[in-house]
Structure 1
Amino acid sequence: MAGYIFSVAKSLLSTVKEENIKKGYFTPFTPEVTEEEMLPEKSRKRKSINKVLAATFADFITMKTGDNVYFLSDRKIYGVGTLKNVGDDCKYDNYLDASKLLPNCNQKGIAYLTTKDSRARWVFFFEPGKHFMSKGVDMDDVLRYKPSAFKMLRAFEGLSFIKIDDEENRALKEYLYIVNESEICDGSDCLEFDNTLHFNLEQRQLSEYKMNINKVLENEENKKYVISEMFIEAALLQYLQVKKQSVFGEWDYLTHQLIASPLKPLQFIDKMDVYGYRFSECYPDKPQLVSKYILVELKKGKINKAALEQTMQYVDWICKEYAAGDYSRIEAYVVGDSSVRNVEDLKEKYCQRDYIIETHPVKTNSWNNLRLVKYLINTQVDFKEMKSSNDSM
């Protein structure tokens, strides 16, 4: 399972324990679009805020029941909780139409599910473990436990939360259990979970609160401030979650903005737009075996040579870091609203790789599994494969 680590100020940790952890919900605050940001001269700041909102939506939309929850405060990580469906899902708009990404000052008569604040746009529900806050573990100690497993945790800076994959989540969970073993075994210091909120919400009709980034497209005035590459990225992740039989296929794990370069100052780190993997259907043991990886590079405009070259850099990174040199385990996509005329020639020239599949005797193979996809924005964001140059028009 994947994991989510949420940052909490030290001064708020006891409140989070007594309110959020015991009752099994959390609503991280998002930036506000205030009346001041509505002024024409503030349009750049408003657009920047909306990119952050779209990025937060993208993180939330990939949450699945069974994923784990942790909290980071004053260098220490506490856990473990498990995401749980309340009704049909484990995450919702915290108030009606929060997914429209309307300015906070335009929200009137809000019907909240939990936290009564327009900055709390989305909420997720979880069941805390009985020893959720027994002992936190220091970040340095965690990173020393299984250094090769931790990738995103090493770059947790300037963010309210991060998502970690199955391997990183498993290593973090293992270390928390090791540190808390004595308390868990003797049953001391148990946390009593109050499921009243979950029960009450399950009696309500929650369909209107389901997250849907396409709601942004209903408001013409606000839409021009929201449509961005990050918005399309969020729409793509929602599409991948909902449409299993799509041009991209079905994937067990999806995330975005995954680090794809050696560790260096964070402002210079490269990040993949969308990354994920699929588990083998025939491997019998646990942990599950990853059989395929997906990479999606997204451009708001045309797919060109630079976009293809950037994508191939990420393909090489995945092959080296995750796929043990086996390019056949990678599916790559480049998404744009169109492409340059000679894109097929560029694909043939730049988007192939020869690699060794067996060593004694040496056998080689060629990889050219990169496909072009066009996004379309109407009443919703949709995606279709570009079969020919005419498809990009």
Structure 2
Amino acid sequence: MAGYVFNLNDYESLENCIANGVYSTILSEPKKNLWGRAHEGTFADYMSMKDGDNVYFFLDRKIYGIGVLKTINLDCKYQNYPNSLLPQIPNFDEIKNKILLGDTVFNINNRVICLFNPSPIFFKNGIDMDDVLSYKPNSFRMLRAFWKLSFVKIDDEENKALKDIILKRNENYLEDYTHQYFFSDKKHREIQKKINKTYILSHKDLLKSSYKNYSIKHEMAIESSIVDIISSDLNSIFGKWDYISHQVIASPFKPIEYMDKMDIFGYRYISGFETISKYLLIEIKKDTAKIESIDQIMKYVDWINEEYSFGDYSMIEAFLVAYDFPKHIIEYRNKICIRNFTRGRRPTTSEIWTNIKLVKYRYNQTDNSLSFEVM
């Protein structure tokens, strides 16, 4: 399972979040009725959350855990009030009775919430970040790039390593309640009474404010939408994936602002096993694809091959999504997007990888949806 590490400012917030089993990011206000890239990226992270994913908190260089996302009624994450994903400043009096958090702890920019339980315990003993990163250092990728973010998503391998170090450092406190944070399901029961379908997160609310004719003005809005589509629609054009994330590091460690990041990355397991079968890569361009778009996605294909599939290109499925693909781009794809590789030792087999699909998107104003067509 995946994990989420939430960034907090003070210990009162840490205690309140754990006591109520609810987390919500305070977002800055939208400008000119438009969401920014950071807003849409945060929504994408929420949309990828699944029941059973682990929860941690980061405060003053230490990580506290362990929790697990919990479905209440329909999902484990919701809009805090109906239409909260629209980039508008609502009238408090009109929504105060609909707020899931309750008006006593509410900020108008708590747009989305997620719900969790201790699993098994939230320990008062936090683990220093240096201690975490020095434990199984090869397992940590995204946690090393946790900088200027409300929270970060980590994959199964990273999540297990983080969970292990927290449990190892707190083994003596498993039965000691004085070293455990208090939790009550009272807030969950209050929220459960309010929830209905109007609170469900949907990428369509993001698209309403970011389209122009049949295209989308922000790549991050498309990115958020595709994350939501893959997470909720097992029959989407992109297929079924057990893990899905966005803005995943795709370069050697260096200053964070210079790091390359894949728009969408994921993987699926062999059915019935915890063995990875395939890796997913999606690169997104809101406008017409260019030569540079092909070069960029192939750079990421090679990165996945080096860092994840270790020479086996057959494990990679890649998609380049754009508004349009001119003829010369398709011809360039056919020429450049080829990798020769070998599998096995005795015998060795030579294979050719060409598994990259060009996908044209269109926005449908009638139902605020995206449609996709493989070129």
Shared fold (TM-score, shorter chain, > 0.5): yes
Q: Which residue of 1 aligns with 2:51?
A: 65
TM-aligned CA distance change 1:251 to 1:192, over 3 Å: same
Q: Which residue of 2 aligns with 1:42?
A: none
Give the alignment partner of residue 185 of structure 2, picking from 188, 195, 203. Answer: 195
TM-aligned CA distance change 1:15 to 1:302, over 3 Å: closer
Render the CA deviation track for 1:56-82: whole Å, top value 9, x for unaligned: 110000000100111101100000010
Partners of 2:64 and 2:127 within 8 A in 1: yes
2:348 & 2:210 partners in 1: Cα distance? 59
Q: Which residue of 2 aligns with 1:145?
A: 135
Query: RMSD of aligned C-alpha atoms?
Result: 2.2
Amino acid at match of 2:23: F
Amino acid at match of 1:109: E
Amino acid at match of 1:325: G
**Structure 1 residue 122 corresponds to structure 2 residue 122:** no
Amino acid at match of 1:57: F
Secondary structure (helix, strand or coil) at the match of 1:109 reads helix
Partners of 2:18 and 2:181 within 8 A in 1: no
1:188 & 1:341 partners in 2: Cα distance? 67
Post-superposition offset of 1:14: 2.7
TM-aligned CA distance change 1:221 to 1:141, over 3 Å: closer
TM-aligned CA distance change 1:142 to 1:344, over 3 Å: same
Amino acid at match of 1:14: E
Percent identity reads: 38
Secondary structure (helix, strand or coil) at the match of 1:203 reads helix
Q: Which residue of 2 aligns with 1:2?
A: 2
Amino acid at match of 1:373: V
Partners of 1:71 and 1:79 within 8 A in 2: yes
**Structure 1 residue 166 corresponds to structure 2 residue 153:** no
> Higher mean Cα deviation, 49-58 or 108-117?
108-117
Q: Which residue of 1 aligns with 2:24?
A: 27
2:284 & 2:189 partners in 1: Cα distance? 40
1:220 & 1:238 partners in 2: Cα distance? 16
> Higher mean Cα deviation, 250-259 or 107-116?
107-116
Ranges in structure 1 where 5+ consecutive residues have no aligned partner: 39-45, 388-393
**Structure 1 residue 255 corresponds to structure 2 residue 245:** yes
TM-score norm. by structure 2 comes to: 0.92
* Structure 1 segments (4+ residues) deviating >4 Å: 105-108, 185-188, 217-224
1:205 & 1:361 partners in 2: Cα distance? 58
Q: Which residue of 2 aligns with 1:316?
A: 302
Post-superposition offset of 1:217: 4.4
TM-aligned CA distance change 1:156 to 1:169, over 3 Å: same
Normalized per residue, which structure has more helix?
Answer: 1
* Matches for 1:33-182 after TM superposition, within 5 Å: 33=30, 37-38=31-32, 49-100=35-86, 102-104=87-89, 109-110=94-95, 111-114=98-101, 115-129=105-119, 131-182=121-172
Ranges in structure 2 where 5+ consecutive residues have no aligned partner: none
**Structure 1 residue 280 corresponds to structure 2 residue 270:** yes
Q: Which residue of 2 aligns with 1:303?
A: 289
